[in-house]
A and B are shown apart, each in its own frame.
Chain A
Amino acid sequence: FFSQIDVHLELEDQLAKFMRTEEAIIYSYGFATIASAIPAYAKRGDIVFVDEAACFAIQKGLQASRSNIKLFRHNDMADLERLLKEQETEDQKNPRKARVTRRFIVVEGLYMNTGDVCPLPELIKLKYKYKVRIFLEESLSFGVLGEHGRGITEHFGINIDDIDLISANMENSLASIGGFCCGRSFIIDHQRLSGQGYCFSASLPPLLAAAAIEALNIMEDNPDIFQTLRTKCARIHEALQGISGLKVVGETFSPALHLQLEESCGSRENDMKLLKRVVDYCMNNGIALTQACYLEKEEKCLPPPSIRVVITVEQTEQELDKAASLLKEAAQSVLN
C-alpha cells in the first residue's frame, strides 16, 4: 500500500547493481526472506532436493511449501546424483506428470551449521544435466567470499545468471535488519505478488534501509576488507588447531567456525554442559563466545553441540591471538 519509500527503491537498485543481477526485492526480516521465497515457487507436488545441514529458516520455508522433500548428505554430490537419477527413472514411468512437476535444489553458500562451502561448479553441471533449478542461500557468504564480496558465485567464478535465485539476509554482513532476494526479473517479479512475507507484512523501517545502503557503499569503496577478513579467518583457524579435546569444524576462510568436542561424553546434555563451562571460563576472562543454539525437537538433522567462533574484520591480530590462547587455556582446564 503506501509503504514503499524511495529509500527502499534505492536499496533495491543498489543491491541489484552490486550483485550484477537484473532485480532485487527487499524483505523486512531475515528469517522471513527465505521462508517466503521458497513457498512462492515450490508448491504441493513439486520436488525439492535440499542439503541435510540446511538452516532452520529453509526448513520452515520447505514445510510451508508442502512439496516433496528429498534430503541428500551434506556436500555429497554423489548422493545428490543418485537421488536425481532415481527421480529421472520415476519420470520416465509417468511422463505427463513429469512435465508439470518443478524441481529445485536448495543449498547454502556457506553453511551456518557446519562452516563448509558448497561445491557450486558441480551443482551447475548437475543442474543442466537433470534440468533442476538452483536456489542459493547466501546469508553467511554475502560480503565474505569473492574478490568484491559478491558471494560464492564470484568466489568460484560462475556466471550469476546460472543461479535462479540468490537469497541473503542483511543481518550478518550489512549489520542491518532484513533480507533480500536477487536474480532475473522473470523470477523476482513473481515474489512481489506471491511472497507472503512481502505482501502481507510491513516494510523495512527507512532507518534500517538507509543503514544498509551506507554499508553497501562502504563495501564498494573498500574492496580490500574482504581479503583482510580472509587472512584473519585463516589466522584464527590456524591458531585454534591443536587444542586438546576440541576440533575445529569449518573452512579456513569461513568467518563463523564451530568448535566441537573430539569425543563426546555420552549424552548431548553433558556435552553441552561441558561446552558451557568452556564458554563461561572465556567470558570471565574477557572473550565473549556462545554455544550454537538449536531447537532440539524441531530440527530435521540436529548438528552436534558446539561453540561458535565468529570473527570481525575490526579485530586486531593481538586480540585474535589472545582469544586463541585463552581458548586453549579454557579447554585445558575444563576438559582435562
Chain B
Amino acid sequence: QKNGVSNGTLYKKTFIEHFEQAPMYVAVLTFLGFGVGTIFGYLRDFMRAWGLEKRNVAAEREQQKDFVPLYQDFENFYTRNLYMRIRDNWNRPICSVPGPQFDLMERVTDDYNWTFRFTGRIIKNVINMGSYNYLGFAETDVNALKTVTIELQKYGTGICSTRQEMGTLDKHVELEKLVAKFLGVEDAMVFGMGFATNSMNIPALVGKGCLILSDELNHTSLVLGARLSGATIRIFKHNNMQSLEKLLRDAIIYGQPRSRRAWRKIIILVEGIYSMEGSIVRLPEIVSLKKKYKAYLYLDEAHSIGAVGTTGRGVVEYFGMSPDDVDVLMGTFTKSFGAAGGYIAGKKELVDFLRTHSHSAVYATSMCPPVAEQIIRAMKCLMGLDGTTQGLQRVRQLGKNTRYFRRRLHEMGFIIYGNDDSPVVPLLLYMPGKIGAFARRMLEKNIGVVVVGFPATPITESRARFCVSAAHTREMLDTVLNALDELGDFLHLKYSRYSKSSHPELYEETRFELED
C-alpha cells in the first residue's frame, strides 16, 4: 500500500492547469450586460417591424414572398442585435502572408456594421496574435519555398480525381511514408482537408451498435463525424477522468440500451490541445483506462502536432508515451506546417482499411501536389533531415515564448485558462461590452487579436485567444504584453485573485533586519 497522490507515477513531469473562476460580481455584470443588449434588441426589432427604423438586412425576393420563410425570426435575433454591434472584429481581410506580422486592409463602416467599405489603405506590420502559426512555417522566403515552386511547375495545381480512381500521385506516397516515420507508426494516409478528415473517417470506423465517448468540448468536425456515423454518443465532462471511468463502467455493465447486448466497439474521442481552453488532454490516464476497459482511442492532434513535445511530435511525446498506445492518431497540417490537409496514422491494417472504406478516398479529391511538397519540406525541417537544426530550434523557441508569455500574463493579474505548456492562451474578458472594446483598442495599437464570444464559448466566458508562435521575437511579445498591461488597467480586466508577485526574491528573504 502506497501513500500519496494516486496518479503520482503516471505523469513524468508536473501537469499544471488553471481554470480560475472570476469573482461573483463579474458574472452578475455579464448577465446584466446581455440583458440590456437583449432589451435594446427587442426595442429595435419592434421599431423595425413598425417601419420606424430602416431595415438593413437583405430581403426575400418579391416573387417568393409567400414561400415558407427561410429563416426563423428568432434564430437570427442574436445575430441581428448583438453580433452586428461588434461584427467589425471578425472576418478582417489581410493582404500578406499570416506570419508573425501581417498587413491588414482597412475597413470602415458608415451604417454601424451593416455594410463595410474598404478605404484602400493598408495597415502595415500588425503583430499577429491570432493565426495558428505555431512553428512559423507560414513564410514567403524564396529559398524555403524553392522546392514548392518546382513542384508547382511540374504538377500544376489540380488533381481532378479521387484517391481511389486516379488521384494517387507519387507525392502522396512519399508524404505518407514521411508522416509515418515522423510519428513513429506503421503507416499513414493523408486527406485534402482537416475538417473533412474527421467527418469522413469516423463514420467509416464506427457504425450502429458502437459507442462513442466524446469530450464535452470537442471540435465541430469530431461532433459531425460522430453524428454522421450513427453510433450512440455519450459525453463526459471536459478532461474529467472520473466522469469518463463512470461512463465506461456503465457501458460495459449495462451494454446497449434496449437489447442489453455488449457494444460492438467503444471508442473515446479526445483532442490533444483544446483550442478554446488551452488545456492538454490527460493522456496517461486515458490510456490506462482504455487498457483496463478495452476501448479504442482516437486522438485529434490538430493543434498539438508540432507544437508540444521536445521534438514537436505532439502530446504522445510530451507525456513520454509510445505511439502504439493510441489506436488512431489524427492531425491536421494547417496549424503547425503552414499547409492544408489532414492525416490519419496508426497500424497498417487500420490505414489499409481506410484506403478502401473511407468516404474521402472514394468521393473527395486528394491533396494537391504543391501543398504536399510544402508539408514534406516542413516535416523534413522538423525532423532535421534537411541537414540543419532549424526545426528543433523552432520547437524550442515556441516553448520559450509560450512559457514567457504565460508567466508574464499571470504576473500581471489576468485570468488565463489552460495548461502552462500550451501555446494557445485564452484570456478571459467575460463582459460583452469588453469584447468589442478590447479588439478595437488592440488594433489601434497595431496588434491583431482574436476574440470569441457566445455561442462558441459559454455565455459568461467570452475570451480573447492568443496563439503564440515560434516566429515571434522577444520584442514583439514585449510590445503585446505592455499593450495588454495598459489595456488591462483601462478596461479593468485584471480579475485574478492569485496574482504572483513579480518580485519573488522578497519572499525568500528569511532574515529581516529591522532598522532602529
Q: Which A residues are within 8 Å of any B CB, using their own CB?
A: 1-6, 8-9, 28-32, 35, 41, 55-57, 60, 63-64, 98-103, 128, 131, 133, 161, 171-172, 174-177, 184-187, 189-190, 192-193, 196-197, 200-202, 204-205, 207-208, 211, 288, 290-295, 298, 308
Contacts and interface: CB of A to CB of B under 8 A. Distances in A.
Given A64-B227, A202-B334, A293 B362 contact: yes
Contacts of A64: 224, 227-228
Given A175-B156, A176-B158, A293-B162, A32 B70 contact: no
B85 interface: no
Contact of B70 (A3, A187, A295): A187
Enumerate the 8 nearest inter-chain pairs by beta-carbon distance, A residue then B residue, closest first.
A175-B158, A29-B193, A201-B195, A186-B58, A31-B364, A202-B334, A6-B95, A211-B157
B93 A186 contact: no
B339 interface: yes
Interface in B70-127: 70-72, 79, 83, 90-95, 98, 102, 105
Contacts of A184: 58, 61
B220 A200 contact: yes
Contacts of B162: 293
B90 A1 contact: yes
Given A5-B93, A31-B200, A177-B365, 14 more contacts: A64-B228, A102-B68, A133-B70, A175-B158, A186-B61, A187-B70, A196-B220, A197-B196, A202-B194, A207-B152, A208-B368, A208-B371, A211-B157, A290-B165
B90 to A, nearest CB: 7
Contacts of A176: 157-158
Contacts of B93: 4-6, 8-9
Contacts of B221: 200-201
B419 interface: no
A172 B59 CA distance: 33
B362 A294 contact: yes
B418 interface: no
Interface string B183-211: 00000000011111001100100000000
B20 to A, nearest CB: 25
Contact of A5 (B66, B94, B152): B94
20 contacts: A2-B92, A9-B93, A28-B193, A29-B192, A29-B193, A31-B196, A31-B360, A41-B70, A55-B363, A60-B199, A64-B228, A100-B68, A102-B68, A102-B70, A128-B63, A184-B61, A192-B91, A193-B79, A200-B219, A201-B194
Nearest to B63: A128
Interface string B156-180: 1111111011100000000000000
B339 A205 contact: yes
Which of A128, A190, A288 has its CB near the most chain B CB atoms (within 10 A)?
A190
Nearest to A174: B158
A57 B58 contact: no
A295 B164 CA distance: 11
Interface of B: 57-61, 63-64, 66-72, 79, 83, 90-95, 98, 102, 105, 128, 130-131, 152, 156-162, 164-166, 192-196, 199-200, 203, 219-221, 224, 227-228, 332, 334, 339-340, 357, 359-360, 362-365, 368, 370-371, 448, 450
Given A4-B94, A128-B63, A176-B158, A29 B364 contact: yes
A101 B67 CA distance: 10
A60 B228 contact: yes
A56 B359 contact: yes
A214 B131 CA distance: 27
B196 A2 contact: no
A100 B98 CA distance: 44
Contacts of A28: 193, 340
Contacts of A32: 193, 195-196, 199
Given A29-B193, A207-B157, A60 B359 contact: yes
Nearest to B161: A290
Which of A30, A177, A197, A288 has its CB near the most chain B CB atoms (within 10 A)?
A177
A57 B193 CA distance: 14
B102 A290 contact: no
Contacts of B193: 28-29, 31-32, 201
Contacts of A4: 91-94
Nearest to A99: B68
B493 to A, nearest CB: 21
B446 to A, nearest CB: 14
A208 B157 contact: yes
A103 B370 CA distance: 42
Nearest to A161: B61
Contacts of A57: 363-364
A84 to B, nearest CB: 14
A293 B164 contact: yes
A291 B162 CA distance: 12
A189 B220 contact: no
B66 A197 contact: no
Contacts of A292: 165
Contact of A133 (B67, B128, B161): B67
Contacts of B58: 184-186, 189
A1 B196 CA distance: 19
B159 A171 contact: yes
A88 to B, nearest CB: 13
Given A2-B450, A99-B68, A63 B228 contact: yes
B94 A2 contact: yes
A292 B362 CA distance: 9
Contact of B371 (A98, A205, A293, A298): A205
A131 B69 CA distance: 11
A2 B98 contact: yes
Given A57-B363, A202-B340, A186 B59 contact: yes
Nearest to B126: A2
Nearest to A187: B70
Contacts of A189: 58
B95 A5 contact: yes
A254 B131 CA distance: 43
A6 B360 CA distance: 30
B302 to A, nearest CB: 10
Nearest to A203: B340
Contact of A200 (B61, B131, B195): B195
A101 B68 contact: yes
Contacts of B94: 2, 4-6
Nearest to A197: B195
A56 B358 CA distance: 12
A9 to B, nearest CB: 6
B196 A103 contact: no
A270 B93 CA distance: 54
Nearest to A291: B165
A215 to B, nearest CB: 9
A100 B91 CA distance: 32
A56 B359 CA distance: 9
A6 B450 CA distance: 19
A128 B63 CA distance: 9
B470 to A, nearest CB: 18
Contacts of A102: 68-70
